[in-house]
Structure formats: C-alpha cells, structure tokens
C-alpha cells in the first residue's frame, strides 16, 4: 500500500513542486494550506508523514507539530518541518517540539526525497 | 512669573520703602495732630509699614 | 506671692519646655521627618532678631525719642523685600560650598583664606560682647525687679554685690549651659541644629504673645485704648514732644536714616541671623514666605511699644522708674502677678534665644576658624589627634568663654548704658562685614588684601569710637579721654573725630568706620589683582558659576569611589578594585565599572564622583575634623547612590528599549529572509525537477518553467521593493522634489497601467479635472504610488466587469487623488493590516494576489514623506477607494484657483 504524505504549506508554487515530487516518488499526496486544515487532514487522511511548513495561517507549523506529537494517536506520524528560517534556535525549537526532521528552504529536492524515503523506512 | 520681573519689582519696592521712610516724606508727616485719635506720624509709619508688607507678599506670591 | 523660687521654677519649666521641643525636633529630623520644613517655622526663627532689646529696650528708647526706636525694625523690613534675591544667593552659595558661618563665607570668598576667616571671627566675638551683655543685664534686672514685688524698686548697681552675689553671673552660666544643650550636644558637619531652630521658633511666638499681652493690658486695662493714651500724651508736656519730635524722629533725621541702614546690615550679618537665615534654612522656597512674614512679625511686636512707653511715662512719676523696665513695672504696679510673670518669661525667652543662637554661631566660628588652625599650626592635630570629642570640647569651651566675656563687659561697662545703646554698639561692629560680604557677592574685583584691610580699618575705628569710650563712660578709662581726646589731641576725640561733632555716637562711629572700611576695601582691591583662588571663588560667588563645586579633602574620593563601585559590583569586588595602585586607580575603577554599566556610563560616573572632590589648596583645612566630614560624606554618598540607582534604572530601561528595537530589527530581517526564500524555494525545486527529469511531459515542462520565471520575477520585484523601502526609511533615498501637475502625472500613470487593465478586461475611467493641480513632489516616486494604487485596483477588480475610477482634485485645501475599484472590498478590521509590510489580504490559496505585500507600505511611506497621507475607504462587497492627499504648492494656493477645483470635486463617496 502506498504511503500517504500530507503537504501543509501556504505557498501554492511550493505545494505544486512538493506534490509533483512526492507523486513522482509514488506516494499518495494531499495538500492543505492552513494549520487547522492540516490537523483536520491528519485525522481524516491519516498520512504516514507530514511535510509541514512553519509559517502558515491558522496555526503555525510548531503548534501543529506539538499537537501531533502530543497526541498518542498521531505520535507515530512522521513530521518534517520546512521553514525559511534557518537559525539554530528555530531548528532546535522544532526538534524540541518533536519534529523528526527540520529542513530549511530552499531545499534540495533530491535530498528531501531521500530523507522522506529514509523516514518512511524504505 | 519670571524671576527678572519679580526681582525688578522687589527692587522698586525696596527703593520705594527707602523713600517712604526717608527724610522728606517722614518730615512731611512729622506734625502734631491725630488721625482717628492717634498721632499722625505713628499712623503713617505703621500704615506705610503694613502697605509695604502687603506689597511684598503680593509680589512674591506665585500663581501656583 | 512672686517669690524668687516661683520665678525660678517657672523659668526652669519654660526652658525645659523649650528643650523638650528642641529634642523632639532633633529626633524627628534624624528620622527624616523634619519638623522645621515649614516656611512659618523659618520666618519665626528669624524672629530671634528680637531680643531683650526689643522686649525691654525699645520701650526705653521710645520713652526718650518717640518713634526713634523703630528704624531698627524698618531696616530689616526693607531688607526682607529683597530677601529672596540676596539671602537666596547667600544660601545657595553657602549650601553649595558647605559654608557654615560668616567667617567661613568671607574666608571662602577671598580664596579660602584662613587668616581672613580668623579676623572675621575676632571682630564678631569682640563686637557681639556688648549685645550678649545687654541680654544678661535685661534678665538680671527683670529678675531683681520682679522678686521685689509688690514694691517697684529699681535694681541697685549690681557691682555693689560683688561677683558671686551677682544675679547676672548665674544668668550667664545658665544661658551658657542652655546654649551648649541646644547647640553643642554633638557635632553636625552641616551645622544644622533643627532642634534649636524649632525651639527658637516657639520662643518667638512666646515673646510676641507676652509683649502683646502687656500691650493690650496697658492700652485697654490702664487706659481706654490707644486714642486715649495719645490724647493724654498730647496733653502732658513730658510726652507731647515724643509724638512729633521737632528734630525728627529719634532726635535727628540723619540718625534715623543711619540707624535704618545699620539695622539693614545687622539683619544680614549678625552671626545668629546668618545662622538661622542661611545655614539653617532647609528649603529655598521658605525665603519667599519669610520676606513678608518676618516683617509682619516685627510689626506685630512693635505696635504696642510706643503706647507702653507713653503709658509708663504717664503712669509713673518722672524719674522713678527706668523706662527700660516699663514692660514689667506696669503690670507689677497694677498687681497683675500672672501677667508680670508671663512678661518675665517673655523677656527671658527673648534673651535666651539670642544667647543660644549667637553663641552657637560664634563658637562655630571660633572652633573652625581659630582653634583648629591654631592647633594644626602647633602640630597637635596633624597626627590625627583631633577627634570629634576634642572639637566638641573646644566648641563648648568657646560658648562658656563668650558668655563670660559678655558678663565681664556687663560688669565693666554695662551700667552706663541703656539697653538699646549697648545693642547698637554691636550693630556697628557687624556692619563692618557689609563691604566684604556685599562686595563678595556682587563685585568681582575684591581682593583678599582689600577685604582684610577694610575689615581691620573699620574694626579699628569702631574700637576707637565706640568700644573704648564705653569703658570711659563707666569709669574704667579716664573720662578726659572722651572729652578732650587722647593726650588732649582734640582732633582725635572719640565722639568727634576730626572735629565732626554734633552727631550721636552711633552715627558718628558708623560714618567714620564705613568710610575707612569701604575706602580701604575698594582702594586696596583696585590697587592689586585678585589672585587665582580669589578669582575662581569670585566666579562661583558673583556669577554663581560651577556652584556645585565644593572645597574638598584629598583623601575622600577614595571612599566615594569605593562606594560607587560597591553599588554596581558588590562590596567584595569593590574592595578588590580599590587595591589597584593609586596611579592607575581611576582607570582601573572605570574599567571595572564599565563591565557593569558600559564604558561611557562608567566614565561619566567616575568623573562626577571625582569632580565633586576637586582637590583644594588648603591642606591646613584638609585635616579638619574627619569625623564630621565622614558624616557629611555619608549623606552625600547616600544622595549619590540614590542618583546612581536612578541612573541604573534609566540605563536598564534604555537597554530594554534597545533590545526591543533589536528584536524588531531581527523580526524584520527574518521576515524579509523568509519572503525572499519562498520564491527561491519554488525556483530551486522546479529547476531541480526539470534537471532530473528530462523525459518530463512537455506541458508539465512548460508549466514548471513558467513558474520558475514568475517566481524569479517575484523575487526580483521583492528585492527591489525591499531595497527601496530600506532606502526611503533610512533617509538615503534621493528625492527630486519639484512642482508638478498632479493631474498630468495621474494620466501618465493610467497610460502605463492601461495595458494590465486591458488584459484583465477591467475598464479604467479618469474623471477630468478643471485645470492643473500643482503640488511639490518627486515625479518618479509619485508615479510609483499611482502605479501601485492603480495596479492594485485593477488586480482586485473582477475580471471582465471590473471598473476602476480615478479622480483628481482639491479638497479642504489639499490636493487629493482617489482610486476606486468595484472589487470584493476590504473589511474594516483589515484596513490597518494592508499597510503592514508583507501583509496581504485575501483568501490565500484562491485569490492570492501576485504581490509582495510591500507595495502599499511603500506607497504610504512615499506620500507621507511628501507631506501628505494615504488611506482607504471600503466595505466588504462594496469595492474599495484608496485615496491620498498632498499639500498644494504654496503659490498655487494663493492664486485662488482652488475654489474652482473644489467645486469641480464631486461629492465624497
């Protein structure tokens, strides 16, 4: 069964590129553009991994991550945080909140794909 | 009220006081006679004195 | 009933009360809740000017000369008019330089001269002996008189009873003891004696009350009111003369005038007056109230003097009762025991107040300006032998000696004089300080030599024309000395020098002594130049420059410095820091402090501590009582540390603000970097995809390439705008402001923007305007604004049916442009949001506009920079109108064309 990836980012072009990438890699993809929608989508779509942008309307990526990792039901979902902020303090914050990985934009598509594969255990 | 004006008025009052208690004016009041039964000179001196005090009080009284 | 012991007990009780008040006030002062912080107390404390002289002597004088007793109070009244100015300056200078006496003041003014201060002290002590003496005479006479009740017996010559039987001696010792109790219990570096001041203020009230009581008694008890006294006096040949003296009040107009002038000097330069008026003053604002309260007090206490005098003359057969005693004798004659006792207490009060304050002031001078320098010169103090207790002992000893000197004078010369005459001799002595003091305050060219010569000359003349003759009058010097001059030289007759006779003794003495004093002061000063120290002090005294500086002791910057360091670094580190070698101590301290509060602040703090202790030249004075110095510096340090704490708080607050600004800057930077990275992300991602997948479907390729291009443009636009904004906000943008026609610019903008509009199918309509609208602006920037507004309007108008209207005109005296679209409108809560950097409004995935979020903020910034404002009017569903205003070019406004354009302006939407 194909793994499911949820993409949460408010920039349509980035979403487009991520969608293409993930679909190319054979995953089932859903995209949302808002933090609250992201939480709802996790509940309904039940992804294996979430590509989570930090700066989103509704709830920020940090809040979403915290929520996901705080709930036993969703703790198993892998979270990859994407952010244009690359300062150490931001990365540390992400990791502290339970993110499994933190990627700064602009990212390398190859590297991102590799990381996703790795995290999904393939 | 700024200091300059206050000082000026005080200086003027001081000079006025000197004149009021000085020879010419004092001599003018140095006459026998009474005002309300009191000697003229006495009334004048104490009256001028009180006036001086009242004027000083008025000048130094700030409007605050 | 009025036995001696009753009087003694009553007196003791009263003095005990005074002491209790003083003690209480001192306690309150130590607790920081000063009792004397009231202008009333200050004004009443000035009432110490009224002594037994006022209480008993004035009546005596009035009985001889009518209203001639009064100049002594008119002088102070006139000076009180200028109180705020003159005493204000003296006070400021005295407090700034920690001057605690007249001798200090004069010595400090002329180059911190110890010898000058000593000279002033000598003159003061000698000059005031007659005055103290008169207090003793008054108290002992009134005591003797009262104990003889109900008989009225004029006290016999006290000398007949020998020294030990002399009441006056015991009075002297008692007063000395009280002076010590009130003013020399301990040392106070600032010479503040709050208890003493409180007691003096109370004492002023008591003597005023007592005197008025007698006055009322005489006027309305013995007679039928003042008019009655006047009428009877006019009828009686003895007293008629007094009502309107032929020769002028007091016997001569000249005398009256000189006496007024003399008392003007006295109210300022009597040591006790200087003490209460300047040294003990706690608040400069009190001076204002004093300038009318004090003369009012003097008036009140003098109203009944002439009535009592006349009453006494009328009541007692002539020659039987000494006029100086009328105040007491009249109640006694009428068997008013309580009143008589009250009067005695009042007189005692007056005398006590004078003696206490005067001797405290004099002993301060003697200790600080004679005893200590002498002891230093003879090596005692240099080894640190001086302690607080030694100085205190000297102080107390001085008080006792001075009072005994007063007693001695009383025995040698006191009998021959009426009370007032003795007082006037002292007045003439302190008047000698006037040239040096007033010159010191208002004349820059006075030199030390000039002041010294003037003082010596004046004092010498005073000695010769007043003090010596007073001994002759009492028989201690041959009478021929006065009558024929020394060795028969007529020209040197003490009361008629150089043949100038016919004046009363005081006037004569004043004339010559002032001539000598002022003459020498001015001549010698002008003949030389003030030395550097005097010049520096002249600047501080006359110009009141640099008033904060104070003479100081070399050792103490260390203590202040250590305290400063301790404040910020803690006591341990401060002590460590102070162990640095003396040469580099200041730098080291500064460096340490810089660690805590920054180097600039550290430099300022250390500098201010050091500057305050500017090294003085006077090493002799530098060894002066370290104990009391420590007290003074403790206080100064407390004040400094309070200031430092305030400064730290300010620095912390400033630091907070800086951090906030820093955070804001960080925010901006991170937001900008976020905004820039976002398009970059898409660009990179799609570029990588295209590179990795050459077999990609062509339509996908085309799409991705299009996205890359669009994002590149977006990035470029963003970068340009950010740079633009940065330039404008930092003020580095170039503005080419010129007069231009707004209407023309608008139509140019519409021409450019028309392409985009046509693409979307949006119609642009420009409303015509009558005539040019001239504003002063930068044409490119203005274009930028218009393009932004028009572009936004087009972007947000619905495609196909969009309608954008642009209006230009004048309204309310300003040029105005409105751009209206019929798009979805903007909710009122978003009105402020859209002007924030990088903020855009609209549902993000669906109508996300291809903008940067910077256009409007930049546009508004530009318009505001040009002197106008930019805003929006809109409701959801009703389109949006963006408007901006600019000030009209001045000439245009004058030309009056505005009226036409205002009328052309359609009604506001």
Gap between the terminal Cα atoms of chain C: 104
Tell me which residue in C673, C684, C707 faces A84 most closely, judged by beta carbons: C673
* CB C364 within 8 Å of CB C191: yes
Residue of C nearest to A15 (CA): C682
Task: Out of A49-53, C243-247, C634-638, C794-798, pick the least confident.
Answer: C243-247
Share of chain C above pLDDT 90, in %: 20
pLDDT of residue C627: 46
Kindly state the average pLDDT of the residues C94-108.
84
Task: Out of C221-235, C371-385, C490-504, pick the least confident.
Answer: C371-385
Instruction: Indicate the domain borders of chain B.
Output: 3-63
- Using CB atoms and an 8 Å cut-off, which of residues 12-31 of chain B contact chain C? 13-14, 17-18, 21-23, 26-27, 30-31
Q: Is B5 on the interface with C (CB under 8 A)?
A: no
- Cα(A40)–Cα(A42) distance, integer angstroms: 5
- Cα(C870)–Cα(C810) distance, integer angstroms: 15
Q: How far is B30 from chain C (nearest CA, A)?
A: 5
Gap between the terminal Cα atoms of chain A: 13
pLDDT of residue C489: 66
Count other Cβ atoms within 10 Å, centred on residue C576.
13
CB contact under 8 A, A12 and C848: yes
Whole domain around residue A25: which residue ranges?
Answer: 4-119
Tell me which residue in C78, C80, C244 faces B18 most closely, judged by beta carbons: C78
What residues in B contact C232, CB-CB < 8 Å?
none
Q: What is the CATH number of the domain that holds A10?
A: 3.40.50.2300
- Cα(C285)–Cα(C789) distance, integer angstroms: 63
From the centroid of its chain, how far is CA C584? 37
- Using CB atoms and an 8 Å cut-off, which of residues 24-63 of chain B contact chain C? 26-27, 30-34, 36-42, 45-46, 49-50, 52-54, 56-57, 60-62
Better-predicted residue by pLDDT, C216 or C854: C216
pLDDT of residue A7: 92
Secondary structure tally for chain B: helices H, strands E = 3, 2
Distances in whole angstroms, Cα of residue C795 to Cα of each of C349, C398, C633: 97, 99, 75
What residues in C contact B9, CB-CB < 8 Å?
none
Q: How far is C847 from chain A (nearest CA, A)?
A: 11
* CB C198 within 8 Å of CB C25: yes
Q: Which residues pair with C741 in a beta bridge?
A: C774
Instruction: Calculate the dihedral angle through the C-alpha atoms of C562, C565, C566, C567, rounding to the nearest 10 degrees.
Output: 130
- Using CB atoms and an 8 Å cut-off, which of residues 62-81 of chain A contact chain C? none
* CB C780 within 8 Å of CB C850: no
The structure tokens listed for C173 are 């010792």
pLDDT of residue C216: 93
The structure tokens listed for A44 are 């309904």
For residue C738, the surrounding DSSP H or E stretch is strand C738-741
Kindly state the average pLDDT of the residues A31-59.
88
Distances in whole angstroms, Cα of residue C103 to Cα of each of A67, C452, C779, C892: 84, 12, 77, 74
- The interface predicted TM-score of the complex, written ipTM, equals 0.94
pLDDT reading at C807 higher than 90: no
Residue C468's pLDDT band (boundaries 50, 70, 90)?
confident
Half-sphere exposure of A100 (CA within 13 A, CB side): 18
Q: Which residues pair with C874 in a beta bridge?
A: C880
CB contact under 8 A, B49 and C67: no
- Cα(C469)–Cα(C413) distance, integer angstroms: 10
pLDDT reading at C605 higher than 70: no
CB contact under 8 A, C692 and A110: yes
- Cα(C768)–Cα(C744) distance, integer angstroms: 11
Task: Out of C275-279, C670-674, C782-786, pick the least confident.
Answer: C670-674
| Structure letter (DSSP) for residue A55 | S
CB contact under 8 A, A12 and C845: yes
- Cα(C1)–Cα(B42) distance, integer angstroms: 38
pLDDT reading at C661 higher than 90: no
Task: Out of A31-40, C99-108, C469-478, C632-641, pick the least confident.
Answer: C469-478
Distances in whole angstroms, Cα of residue C60 to Cα of each of A113, C57, C115, C140, C587: 119, 5, 40, 16, 70
pLDDT reading at C576 higher than 80: no
For residue C572, the surrounding DSSP H or E stretch is helix C571-578
- Cα(C533)–Cα(C725) distance, integer angstroms: 61
Q: Is A85 on the interface with C (CB under 8 A)?
A: yes
- A105: helix, coil or strand? coil
pLDDT reading at C171 higher than 90: no
Task: Out of A42-46, A88-92, C615-619, pick the least confident.
Answer: C615-619
Beta sheet of A28-32, edge-to-edge order: A28-32, A4-8, A49-53, A78-83, A101-104
pLDDT reading at A60 higher than 80: yes
Residues 6+ apart with CB under 8 A from C470: C130, C413, C416, C417, C425
Tell me which residue in C85, C248, C291 faces B30 most closely, judged by beta carbons: C248
Residue C876's pLDDT band (boundaries 50, 70, 90)?
confident
Kindly state the average pLDDT of the residues C222-226.
84
pLDDT of residue C540: 75
pLDDT of residue C618: 40
| Structure letter (DSSP) for residue C583 | G
Better-predicted residue by pLDDT, C761 or A36: A36
- Cα(C360)–Cα(C714) distance, integer angstroms: 89
pLDDT digits (tens, 9 = 90+) for C435-462: 999 998 888 888 888 999 999 999 999 9
Distances in whole angstroms, Cα of residue A98 to Cα of each of A44, A120, B22, C477, C543: 22, 16, 99, 112, 74
pLDDT reading at C639 higher than 60: yes
What residues in C contact A33, CB-CB < 8 Å?
844-845
Distances in whole angstroms, Cα of residue B60 to Cα of each of C74, C348, C464, C800: 19, 34, 43, 81
| Alpha helices by DSSP H, C34-113 | 39-46, 52, 58-65, 71-81, 83-96, 102-109
Share of chain C above pLDDT 70, in %: 83
pLDDT of residue C455: 94
Half-sphere exposure of C324 (CA within 13 A, CB side): 22
The structure tokens listed for C890 are 């001045």
- Cα(C809)–Cα(C899) distance, integer angstroms: 11
Task: Out of A20-24, C181-185, C769-773, pick the least confident.
Answer: C769-773
- Cα(A8)–Cα(C289) distance, integer angstroms: 79
- Cα(A8)–Cα(A18) distance, integer angstroms: 10
Residues 6+ apart with CB under 8 A from C151: none
Gap between the terminal Cα atoms of chain B: 10
Residue C269's pLDDT band (boundaries 50, 70, 90)?
very high
Kindly state the average pLDDT of the residues C482-495.
69
Residues 6+ apart with CB under 8 A from C187: C388, C391, C392, C395, C625, C627, C628, C631
Chains A and B touch (3+ CB pairs under 8 A): no
Residue C263's pLDDT band (boundaries 50, 70, 90)?
very high
Better-predicted residue by pLDDT, C575 or C550: C575
**In total, how many domains does chain A have?**
1
DSSP string, C66-82: GGGGTHHHHHHHHHHHT
* Torsions phi, psi for B62 (to 5 deg): -85, 155
- Cα(C27)–Cα(B29) distance, integer angstroms: 52
Task: Out of A52-66, C396-410, C532-546, pick the least confident.
Answer: C532-546
Residues 6+ apart with CB under 8 A from B3: none
The top-scoring range by mean pLDDT among B13-22, C669-678, C730-739 is B13-22
Kindly state the average pLDDT of the residues C99-122.
87
CB contact under 8 A, B10 and C257: no
Kindly state the average pLDDT of the residues C327-338.
87
pTM score: 0.58
Better-predicted residue by pLDDT, C361 or C371: C361
Q: Is C500 on the interface with B (CB under 8 A)?
A: no
Count other Cβ atoms within 10 Å, centred on residue C895.
11
CB contact under 8 A, B34 and C82: no
Kindly state the average pLDDT of the residues C165-188.
82
Tell me which residue in C677, C707, C711 faces A84 most closely, judged by beta carbons: C677
The structure tokens listed for C563 are 């305290």
Q: How far is C137 from chain B (nearest CA, A)?
A: 30
The structure tokens listed for C703 are 């799409």
The structure tokens listed for C796 are 């947000």
Residue of B nearest to C297 (CA): B53
Closest among C47, C568, C748, C618 to C354, alpha carbons compared: C47
pLDDT of residue B64: 44
Residue C611's pLDDT band (boundaries 50, 70, 90)?
low
* Torsions phi, psi for C739 (to 5 deg): -75, 130
Q: What is the rounded average pLDDT for all residues in chain C? A: 80
Kindly state the average pLDDT of the residues C360-387.
69
Count other Cβ atoms within 10 Å, centred on residue A64.
27
Closest among C827, C808, C835, C811 to C880, alpha carbons compared: C827
Residue of C nearest to B25 (CA): C253
Kindly state the average pLDDT of the residues C314-340.
85
CB contact under 8 A, C678 and A84: yes
Share of chain A above pLDDT 70, in %: 98
Distances in whole angstroms, Cα of residue C214 to Cα of each of C150, C154, C220, C807: 17, 20, 10, 94
| Alpha helices by DSSP H, C270-387 | 271-274, 286-302, 305-315, 326-333, 337-366, 372-377
For residue A5, the surrounding DSSP H or E stretch is strand A4-8
Kindly state the average pLDDT of the residues C245-270.
80
Better-predicted residue by pLDDT, C164 or A75: A75
Task: Out of A6-20, C230-244, C388-402, pick the least confident.
Answer: C230-244
DSSP string, C268-298: HHSHHHHIIIIIS---TTHHHHHHHHHHHHH
């Amino acid at each position: 069964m194909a793994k499911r990836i949820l993409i949460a980012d408010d920039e349509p072009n980035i979403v487009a590129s991520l969608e293409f990438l993930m679909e190319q890699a054979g995953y089932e993809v859903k995209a949302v553009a808002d933090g609250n929608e992201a939480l709802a989508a996790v509940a309904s779509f039940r992804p294996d991994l979430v590509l989570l942008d930090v700066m989103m309307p509704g709830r920020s990526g940090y809040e979403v991550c915290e929520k996901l990792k705080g709930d036993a039901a969703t703790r198993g979902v892998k979270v990859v945080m994407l952010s244009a902020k690359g300062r150490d303090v931001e990365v540390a914050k992400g990791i502290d909140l339970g993110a499994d990985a933190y990627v700064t934009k602009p990212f390398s598509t190859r590297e991102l794909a590799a990381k996703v594969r790795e995290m999904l255990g393939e | 009220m700024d200091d300059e004006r206050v000082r000026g008025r005080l200086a003027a009052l001081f000079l006025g006081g000197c004149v009021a208690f000085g020879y010419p004016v004092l001599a003018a009041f140095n006459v026998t006679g009474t005002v309300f039964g009191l000697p003229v000179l006495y009334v004048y001196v104490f009256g001028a004195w009180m006036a001086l005090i009242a004027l000083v009080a008025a000048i130094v009284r700030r409007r605050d | 009933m009025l036995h001696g012991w009753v009087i003694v007990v009553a007196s003791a009780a009263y003095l005990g009360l005074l002491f209790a008040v003083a003690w209480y006030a001192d306690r309150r002062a130590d607790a920081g809740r000063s009792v004397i912080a009231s202008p009333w107390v200050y004004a009443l404390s000035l009432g110490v000017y009224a002594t037994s002289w006022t209480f008993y002597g004035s009546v005596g004088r009035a009985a001889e000369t009518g209203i001639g007793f009064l100049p002594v109070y008119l002088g102070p009244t006139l000076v009180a008019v200028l109180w705020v100015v003159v005493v204000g300056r003296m006070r400021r200078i005295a407090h700034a330089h920690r001057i605690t006496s007249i001798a200090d003041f004069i010595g400090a003014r002329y180059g911190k001269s110890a010898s000058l201060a000593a000279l002033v002290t000598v003159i003061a002590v000698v000059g005031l002996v007659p005055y103290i003496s008169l207090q003793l005479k008054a108290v002992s006479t009134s005591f003797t008189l009262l104990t003889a009740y109900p008989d009225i017996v004029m006290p016999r010559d006290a000398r007949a009873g020998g020294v030990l039987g002399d009441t006056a001696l015991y009075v002297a010792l008692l007063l000395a003891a009280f002076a010590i109790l009130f003013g020399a219990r301990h040392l106070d570096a600032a010479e503040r004696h709050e208890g003493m001041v409180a007691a003096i203020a109370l004492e002023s009230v008591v003597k005023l009350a007592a005197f008025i009581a007698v006055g009322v008694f005489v006027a309305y008890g013995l007679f039928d009111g003042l008019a009655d006294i006047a009428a009877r006096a006019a009828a009686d040949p003895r007293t008629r003369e007094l009502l309107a003296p032929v020769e002028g009040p007091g016997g001569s107009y000249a005398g009256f005038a000189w006496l007024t002038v003399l008392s003007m000097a006295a109210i300022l330069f009597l040591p006790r007056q200087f003490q209460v008026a300047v040294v003990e003053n706690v608040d400069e604002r009190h001076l204002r109230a004093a300038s009318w309260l004090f003369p009012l007090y003097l008036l009140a206490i003098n109203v009944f003097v002439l009535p009592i005098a006349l009453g006494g003359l009328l009541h007692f057969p002539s020659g039987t009762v000494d006029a100086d005693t009328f105040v007491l004798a009249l109640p006694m004659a009428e068997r008013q025991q309580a009143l008589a006792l009250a009067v005695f207490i009042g007189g005692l009060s007056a005398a006590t107040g004078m003696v206490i304050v005067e001797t405290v002031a004099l002993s301060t001078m003697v200790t600080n300006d004679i005893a200590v320098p002498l002891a230093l010169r003879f090596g005692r103090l240099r080894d640190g032998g001086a302690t607080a207790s030694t100085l205190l002992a000297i102080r107390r000893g001085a008080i006792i000696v001075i009072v005994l000197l007063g007693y001695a004078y009383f025995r040698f010369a006191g009998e021959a004089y009426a009370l007032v005459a003795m007082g006037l001799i002292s007045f003439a002595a302190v008047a000698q300080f006037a040239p040096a003091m007033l010159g010191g305050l208002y004349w820059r060219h006075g030199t030390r030599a000039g002041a010294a010569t003037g003082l010596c000359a004046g004092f010498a003349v005073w000695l010769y024309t007043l003090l010596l003759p007073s001994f002759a009058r009492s028989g201690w010097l041959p009478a021929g000395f006065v009558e024929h001059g020394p060795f028969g030289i007529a020209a040197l007759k003490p009361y008629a020098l150089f043949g100038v006779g016919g004046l009363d003794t005081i006037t004569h003495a004043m004339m010559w002594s002032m001539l000598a004093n002022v003459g020498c002061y001015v001549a010698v000063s002008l003949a030389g130049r003030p030395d550097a120290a005097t010049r520096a002090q002249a600047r501080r005294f006359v110009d009141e420059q640099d008033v904060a500086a104070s003479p100081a002791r070399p050792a103490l910057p260390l203590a202040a410095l250590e305290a400063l360091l301790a404040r910020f670094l803690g006591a341990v580190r401060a002590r460590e820091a102070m162990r640095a070698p003396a040469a580099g101590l200041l730098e080291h301290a500064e460096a340490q402090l810089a660690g805590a509060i920054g180097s600039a602040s550290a430099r300022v703090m250390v500098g201010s501590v050091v500057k305050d202790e500017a090294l003085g030249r006077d090493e002799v004075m530098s060894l002066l009582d370290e104990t009391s110095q420590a007290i003074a510096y403790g206080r100064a340090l407390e004040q400094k540390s309070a200031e430092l704490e305030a400064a730290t708080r300010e620095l912390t607050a400033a630091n907070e603000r800086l951090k906030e600004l820093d955070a804001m800057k960080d925010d901006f930077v991170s937001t900008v970097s976020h905004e820039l990275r976002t398009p970059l992300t898409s660009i990179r991602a799609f570029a990588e995809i295209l590179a990795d997948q050459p077999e990609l479907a062509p339509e996908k390729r085309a799409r991705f390439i299009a996205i890359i291009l669009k994002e590149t443009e977006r990035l470029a636009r963003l970068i340009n705008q950010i740079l633009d904004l940065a330039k404008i906000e930092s003020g580095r943008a170039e503005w080419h402001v010129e007069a231009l026609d707004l209407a023309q610019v608008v139509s140019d903008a519409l021409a450019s923007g028309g392409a985009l509009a046509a693409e979307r199918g949006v119609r642009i309509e420009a409303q015509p305007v009558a005539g040019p609208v001239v504003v002063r602006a930068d044409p490119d920037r203005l274009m930028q604004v218009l393009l932004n507004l028009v572009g936004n309007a087009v972007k947000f108008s619905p495609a196909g049916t969009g309608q954008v209207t642009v209006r230009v005109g004048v309204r309310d005296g300003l040029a105005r442009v409105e751009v209206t679209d019929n798009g979805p409108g903007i909710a009122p809560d978003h009105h402020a949001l859209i002007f924030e950097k990088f903020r855009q409004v609209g549902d993000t995935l669906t109508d996300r506009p291809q903008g940067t979020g910077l256009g409007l903020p930049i546009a508004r910034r530009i318009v505001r920079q040009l002197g106008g404002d930019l805003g929006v009017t809109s409701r959801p569903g009703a389109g949006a109108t963006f408007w901006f205003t600019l000030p009209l070019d001045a000439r245009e406004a004058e030309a009056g064309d505005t009226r036409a354009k205002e009328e052309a302006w359609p009604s506001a939407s």
